[in-house]
Chain A
Amino acid sequence: AQKITQTQPGMFVQEKEAVTLDCTYDTSDQSYGLFWYKQPSSGEMIFLIYQGSYDEQNATEGRYSLNFQKARKSANLVISASQLGDSAMYFCAMREGWGAQKLVFGQGTRLTINP
């Protein structure tokens, strides 16, 4: 079974609109962490935002926020006021257990921002 599922292979959004990228996860651990990374066409992986399983508030970092619904096991990334530079692949990833552990990645969503 997939640990991380990203159901949107591609999304097209108009500049300045908000966009939600979906991520659902599967784990039996009580302690886990969820990460979102951005990968532009240049290839580097850029960390965007983190949500811990015990965090009571949804994480926010600038224009990025995470809609964390623990009971549904979903951790959707919301980008407000999208910009042309947001066009990239977006990966959701999970760390199971506490401490530095490997990440399990989803297949990614390719986001294209249209002017």
Chain B
Amino acid sequence: GAGVSQSPSNKVTEKGKDVELRCDPISGHTALYWYRQSLGQGLEFLIYFQGNSAPDKSGLPSDRFSAERTGGSVSTLTIQRTQQEDSAVYLCASSLGQGRGNQPQHFGDGTRLSIL
């Protein structure tokens, strides 16, 4: 079956512009996560959606970052007024969800964001 799909795979934009990154999770996965990976670094949690519950936004670095998940499926991460420090690979993951703590998160190939 299809894995986690992210688009675009690469995005280059000018400082100050807004960007939208899309994630389509594995069918049937109720949990969806966004992470950020800066050059040579580990992954940093951004936000987590579980079913219809309020998202865990505790990892969002500033109010320029927001995310939504429509219909319990596709998610969009939006970064407003981009800064150069936002340059990173943005990874989306999905998993089976609540009560399935032993199930791994499956990752997409990421969106490489470069801010000029």
Contact = CB atoms under 8 A, between A and B. Distances in A.
Interface string B75-116: 000000000000001010101111111111111011000000
B31 interface: yes
A105 B42 contact: yes
A109 B97 CA distance: 28
Interface residues of B, number: 31
Given A43-B89, A100-B95, A102-B48, A107 B105 contact: no
A99 B99 contact: yes
A91 B107 CA distance: 13
**Size band of the interface chain A makes with B:** 20 to 34
Interface in B5-57: 30-31, 33, 35, 41-45, 48, 50, 56
B61 interface: no
Interface in A14-66: 31, 33, 35, 37, 43-45, 47, 50, 52
A97 B99 CA distance: 10
Interface of B: 30-31, 33, 35, 41-45, 48, 50, 56, 59, 89, 91, 93, 95-107, 109-110
16 contacts: A33-B101, A43-B109, A44-B110, A45-B91, A45-B107, A47-B106, A50-B102, A98-B99, A98-B101, A99-B97, A100-B31, A100-B96, A100-B97, A101-B48, A102-B33, A105-B42
